[in-house]
Amino acid sequence: MGVVLLVAITVTLAGVAGAMLLGFGPPEPAPTVSYSFSSSGDELTVTHTHGGAIEAGTLTVHGVADADALADGSRVGTSLMVEPTDETVRIVWTGSESGTSHVLAEYEV
């Protein structure tokens, strides 16, 4: 009986340690933010309107000439002008720890 219990504890601990070392855990949650979009001619203005600051290196803008337009991060009031190259513009956040990606905002040009 004692041997079975010892084996069960060892297997459980090995599973937990393996999961922690291999990064099996809950995905990194996406930030809760809002962006507004306004177009004028061939340019699109993107403004961070709500939510906390987003760290540098975690944002890309898909469907525009400069995908790294938000590479320095974003906070409420951040505004930039981009040139759309696709019918849909998406602001995508990629977690620095997990590499998980989430679309934070989308705009149909």
What are the helix (H) ranges across 51-108? none
| Residue 91 within any structural domain of the chain | yes
| Residue 84 within any structural domain of the chain | yes
Distance between CA atoms of 46 and 2, rounded to whole angstroms?
64
| Residue 9 within any structural domain of the chain | no
Number of domains into which the chain is organized: 1
Strand bridging mode 88-94 / 59-62: antiparallel
| Residue 19 within any structural domain of the chain | no
Structural domain containing residue 41: 33-108
CATH number of the domain where residue 61 is located: 2.60.40
Distance between CA atoms of 42 and 49, rounded to whole angstroms?
22
One digit per residue, the tens of pLDDT, for the chain of length 109 reads 777 767 667 777 766 666 666 666 677 889 999 999 999 999 999 999 999 999 999 999 999 999 999 999 999 999 999 999 999 999 999 998 878 899 999 999 9
| Residue 63 within any structural domain of the chain | yes
Q: Name the token pair of 43.
A: 């340019």
pTM for this prediction = 0.75
